[in-house]
């Protein structure tokens, strides 16, 4: 299905997006990455304000782009990137809320797997429950990079939830199953990658702690969560 571009949500032509894309929920975080990590960035998308840029990082062609909030949003953007633009690898960098007393604000969580309360997988009509997982090669490289840089991190399951303001929170049920943190997108990215035969990984910075009440500001999340970005760019 490649070359059917532009798409309804990405106003680029095939070839304007690199084979490797680093994505963030906030399009301003994508703009931050373009301005602070890429050489000669060129904007390829502003449809619906979802900014996307392509440039070079240490001689490698890389794109950065926003994906919005939640599984439906990242589901659309990553589907189009994988299936219409020929993207081979997508790394999401984002924020997450910690469920673990061993994972604190500012530390990283590498999503080996993504539990979810979403119905996204129902479209595949599978005879059971699909287990969305990240690409092992990327996970292994990401942990090596974190060790080299001296960054604190944990690897394991995250929860990709459809609900931010839950009427009946059930965090305790996920915590007892060893889930490390909650975010809102990893499961859809991993399912789209699996279906397309592509690679994906989610690296999040802990922005708040569900159990202790630790928090960061929106400005800090937008401008200072650079450790996960450094890991992602080094992975490319």
Task: Answer yes or no: is pLDDT of 222 > 80.
Answer: no
pLDDT level of residue 140 (50, 70, 90 thresholds): very high
Task: Answer yes or no: is pLDDT of 168 > 80.
Answer: yes
Q: Is 144 a catalytic residue?
A: no
Hey, what CATH topology would domain 20-235 get?
A: Rossmann fold (3.40.50)
Residue 1, pLDDT score: 55
- Buried b / exposed e along 180-209 (16+ C-beta atoms within 10 A): bbbbbbbbbbbbbbbebebbbbbbbbbbbb
Cα(162)–Cα(39) distance, rounded to whole angstroms? 36
Cα(91)–Cα(123) distance, rounded to whole angstroms? 23
Task: Answer yes or no: is pLDDT of 115 > 70.
Answer: yes
Q: How many C-beta atoms lie closer than 10 Å to residue 33's C-beta? A: 26
pLDDT tens figures, 180-197? 999 999 999 999 999 999
Residue 4, pLDDT score: 83
Q: Where are the alpha helices (DSSP H) in 11-112?
A: 27-37, 71-84
CB 181 within 8 A of CB 109: yes
Which residue in 46, 102, 144, 208 is the catalytic one?
A: 208
Task: Answer yes or no: is pLDDT of 142 > 60.
Answer: yes
């Amino acid at each position: 299905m490649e070359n059917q571009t532009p798409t309804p949500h990405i106003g680029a032509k095939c070839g304007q997006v690199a084979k490797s894309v680093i994505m963030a929920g906030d399009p301003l975080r994508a703009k931050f990455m373009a301005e602070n990590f890429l050489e000669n960035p060129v904007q390829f998308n502003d449809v619906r304000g979802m900014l996307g840029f392509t440039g070079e990082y240490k001689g490698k062609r890389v794109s950065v782009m926003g994906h919005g909030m939640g599984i439906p949003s990242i589901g659309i953007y990553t589907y189009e990137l994988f299936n219409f633009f020929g993207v081979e690898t997508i790394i999401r960098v984002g924020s997450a809320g910690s469920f673990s007393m061993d994972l604190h604000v500012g530390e990283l969580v590498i999503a080996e797997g993504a539990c979810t309360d979403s119905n996204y997988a129902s479209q595949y009509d599978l005879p059971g429950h699909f287990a969305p997982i990240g690409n092992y090669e990327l996970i292994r490289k990401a942990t090596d990079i974190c060790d080299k840089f001296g960054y604190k991190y944990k690897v394991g399951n995250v929860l990709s939830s459809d609900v931010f303001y839950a009427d009946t929170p059930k965090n305790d049920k996920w915590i007892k199953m060893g889930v490390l943190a909650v975010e809102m997108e990893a499961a859809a990215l991993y399912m789209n990658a699996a279906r397309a035969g592509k690679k994906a990984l989610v690296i999040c910075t802990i922005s708040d702690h569900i159990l202790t009440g630790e928090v960061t500001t929106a400005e800090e999340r937008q401008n200072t969560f650079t450790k996960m970005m450094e890991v992602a760019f080094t992975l490319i």
